[in-house]
Amino acid sequence: MKPSSVLERVNYPEDLKKLSLEELEPLSEELRSEIIRICSRGGLHLASSLGTVELTVALHRVFSSPKDRLLWDVGHQSYGHKILTGRKDQMDNIKKEGGISGFTKVSESVHDAITVGHASTSLANAFGMALARDAMLGDGTGEFYHIIPIIGDGALTGGMALAAINNIGYKKPKMLIILNDNEMSISENVGALNTYFRTLQVQKWFQDAEASGKNLVRRFSRPLEQMITNAKDAARTFFDPHSKNPFNAMGLRYVGPVDGHNVLQLVYWLEKIKELEGPTILHILTKKGKGMNIAEHDPIYWHSPSKFNPSQPEEVQKGYSWSNAFGDAATELVDQRRDIYVITPAMREGSGLVEFAQKHPDRYLDTGIAEEVAVTAAAGMALRGMKPIVAIYSTFLQRGYDQVLHDIAIEKLNVVFAIDRAGVVGADGPTHHGVFDLSFLRNIPNISICAPKDAFELRAMLKKSLEQHGPVAIRYPRGSVKPAPAGTWDDIVWGSWERLVPGNDVVILAVGKTLEYALEAVKGTKDVGVINARFIKPLDTTMLEDIAQRARAIITLEDNTVVGGFGAAVLEHLASRDLKPDVRLMGIPDHFMDHAEVASLHAQAGIDAAGIKVMLESLGVPVGVVVGD
């Protein structure tokens, strides 16, 4: 950042208000360059933040944060907001351990109106804030402030967002909703009359005059009032077809579309709209990755790219992940059985389904950010003889919990859940850690739950799950994995565990990702066994009871909360058989873990190799030097 730069002079929103209008465009360009520099280290949300630069500048120019509340839906696009609200010097540590969050977070800054990470939540939050504001104004205990939720066209597909709009349109509280449209192709309205008519909609004098005129006419004749209203609506439809749209039908004033990369135009519209009563939606058109050519052309990959050189971003390298392993397996399986249908809630790329969608478009459904719809659509398919696979992140499956229980499990429908990002996910933090799925799924009757140790086992479980009667959940972590060659389909006995290291004194029952830590921890120990406890439900009760009768102690190891997870299942079964070995539960502690590298989070939880060695030592097992010393 150059000492003479505009951005150098802006540390808080009030600094931005001191700039001339002519300085807002260079500020936007400098902000965009700074976001690219920050995101070049990899793992950060680049394209979304680039697409909202001008909007961010305009919002902080017109409104007064933190008094006025800016609610960024999802929070992917909030990097510019963070830079302009006192966190400029902390951005190099964003999403690093001890650093600031990659999303907005109430406990981090007074400028962050909501803690967020899931989509479609901003409108309901804003609705609640508006009702609270108006209630406190009514009894004289509060003050007025503007409420501005910013939601993308993708997040608007969520049922929660649409339901919130329905309530906002009914109660009509004063608020401004920014619809950040970076995907939909909408024809541009042109012509002087169109521009003038849309300008009239946001002139306070026009709204006041319209209301006064209505009141006057109403005194003389209600039929005349209705005739004038019908005439106005007809004229509006002629001059401005966009005035007749779903937002108007649901009770919101609609303005747009507006160029979301013209900062001066945005300032103009925001200044006008802020004076209006009731709810208004400003529809802006933006481009994800704006200002970085490669990101504009491939905004999906550049949504959160790996480390790159800003001057040569095309040289970025892509690895092979668990998501790729699932996608490859699913793509092959469709050729073997045509009753498969893969469903995902807006996670095609993240779930490794790009190739699948291209090769099998007739067996692929993206429901958008509507997890509940994805799950219940799968139920409908299963009821008619299909074998649907729902590819979904662990943290997002939380939204479809009732549908799993009510729509699928009760009738024991044949639906497979490919649960990606299970366990802690690292830098995305507590809103994205998938550490609850074992607990919230395990208590549902009729469901099977398993966790593969590698890509070979993932393929075997996926194939075998299609032969089961009833729902199956296969959970696997975020990160890289060694690929299994195409065409390889290892067999697996459903519900069976696998003994990897012999030993009967102390036995470690490890699930999924934690298995590699267990294998590392027992090197050099004597009579400590390691079991690949790949089935969480049903448990391999035959092996478990045999171990309990022989072992002095059992350690359960999982990348899931210890509350109600795999360890709890082991304890429950042993208690039902009156078997009482010393059982030690190791997993994610009963609190929300912050963002950090996965290895660091596992170390904090004590479930890495070093933590396991400490547990073994507490049981009197000589382990030598603890890993990491």
Closest CA to 159 of 377, 426, 448, 4: 377
Closest CA to 610 of 588, 594, 595, 625: 625
Query: Three-state SS for 129?
Result: helix
Q: What CA–CA distance (Å, rounded) separates 95 from 108? A: 13
Residue type, 99: G
Catalytic residue, candidates 399, 475, 478, 534: 399
Calculate the dihedral angle through the C-alpha atoms of 140, 141, 146, 150, rounding to the nearest 10 degrees: -130
Asked whether 357 and 334 are in contact (CB, 8 A), the reply is no
384 catalytically annotated: no
- Concatenate the DSSP letters of all residues of 599-629 into one string: HHHHHHHT-SHHHHHHHHHHTT----SPTT-
Token look-up 């962050």 returns 112
Cis peptide before 173 (omega within 30 of 0): no
Token pair recorded at residue 102: 């990659």
| Mutual angle of helices 609-618 and 514-521, in 10-degree steps | 50
Query: Three-state SS for 147?
Result: strand
Query: Is the dihedral angle over the CA atoms 556, 558, 561, 566 positive or is it negative?
Result: negative
Token pair recorded at residue 323: 């998501």
Diameter over CA atoms, the chain = 97
Query: Three-state SS for 593?
Result: coil
User: What number of residues does the chain have?
Assistant: 629
Calculate the dihedral angle through the C-alpha atoms of 576, 578, 580, 581, rounding to the nearest 10 degrees: -70
Q: What CA–CA distance (Å, rounded) separates 528 from 569? A: 22
Q: What CA–CA distance (Å, rounded) separates 607 from 517? A: 8
Q: What CA–CA distance (Å, rounded) separates 474 from 466? A: 12
Q: What CA–CA distance (Å, rounded) separates 328 from 19? A: 53
407 DSSP assignment: I
399 catalytically annotated: yes
Catalytic residue, candidates 61, 82, 288, 513: 288
List all residues 6 or more positions away from 534 whose beta carbon is below 8 Å from its beta carbon.
450, 451, 452, 453, 457, 461, 496, 497, 498, 511, 512
List all residues 6 or more positions away from 620 whose beta carbon is below 8 Å from its beta carbon.
none
Token look-up 């989509």 returns 119
Query: Is the dihedral angle over the CA atoms 124, 130, 133, 138 positive or is it negative?
Result: negative
What residues act catalytically? 288, 371, 399
